[in-house]
Structure 1
Amino acid sequence: MSEPEILSLYRRYIDCLNHQDWASLGRFVDEEAHYNGQRIGLAGYQRMLENDFRAIPDLHFGIDMLLADPPHVAARLRFDCTPVGELFGAAVNGQRVQFTENVFYEFSDGRIRNVYSVIDKAAVRDQVTAASQNDR
């Protein structure tokens, strides 16, 4: 797969996520998918995403940076959202927060096989802490 092809495929994958088009997820994610070193498979991957959208109803994956060295893709994703309840151990409760995720993908046969994700959880905690201090 060439660099333009894998980048186009990745953008279609992000579009699939943003539309919560779970019926199409298997076009992008391998049945044997791994997330941060743990095999979760396609079904586990979908459950993880569905849980994310339940916790963050207005979740939108925004591509901030995107690089490819096939079969690998690296992305910095940006989120600006209003989670319900807790997020990453912080009581967000509908407060608007912004954070980023640095994520690395390995594709095999045109599908995501491995995902390594690092989310800036401290940014969320800092925003929640600052907001609660401002409420005092």
Structure 2
Amino acid sequence: MIDVYRRYLDCLNDRRWDDLGRFVADDVVYNGERIGLKGYRSMLESDTHAIPDLRFTAELLLADRGVVGCRLFFHCTPRHEFLGFEPTGGQVSFAEHVFYRFGDQKIAEVWSLIDKEAIREQLR
């Protein structure tokens, strides 16, 4: 699973949105809401539009029995509103703690928590 997950991160960082279905299930659930592959792709495209230099960097990565846990770290420059924050032109650094449940070698469910307070403090 970790190899599949690393290829998924490469897909995100390369902005290969048409390949996303190789890694994410058609009926993916994100934070308890069934948004499907189309909704998941739209969310990621929106994030990368708001932050063109957004890179998904795995700091900690663990896998066990169909679940991958990861601490993603971001150092980037928002250009448009992101998570309700208006950009200031400056760089921000923040973490996302995320768990993925896999089914049939694809991401079926995602639980994500982003450190919004870290972003807020840096945009003041």
Does residue 12 of structure 2 align to residue 32 of structure 1? Answer: no
CA offsets 1:35-67 (integer angstroms, 9 cap, x no match): 000001111111111001110010100001000
Q: How much has 1:89 moved relative to structure 2?
A: 2.5
Q: How much has 1:81 moved relative to structure 2?
A: 0.3
CA offsets 1:60-110 (integer angstroms, 9 cap, x no match): 000010000020000000000000133222222321000000000000001
Structure 1: gaps of 5 or more residues: 1-5, 130-136
Normalising by structure 1, we get a TM-score of 0.88
> How do 1:1-136 residues align onto structure 2 when only pairs under 5 Å count?
6-129=1-124
Assess if the C-alpha contact under 8 Å between 2:51 and 2:80 holds in 1.
no
Question: Counting helix residues as a fraction of each chain, which structure ranks higher?
Answer: 1
Normalising by structure 2, we get a TM-score of 0.96
RMSD: 0.9
- How far, CA to CA, are the matches of 2:43 and 2:65 in structure 1? 25
Runs of 4+ in structure 1 off by over 4 angstroms are: none
For residue 25 of structure 1, what is the amino acid of its counterpart?
L
Structure 2: gaps of 5 or more residues: none
Secondary structure of 1:86 counterpart: coil
* Number of aligned residues: 124
User: What fraction of aligned residue pairs are identical, expressed as a percent?
Assistant: 52
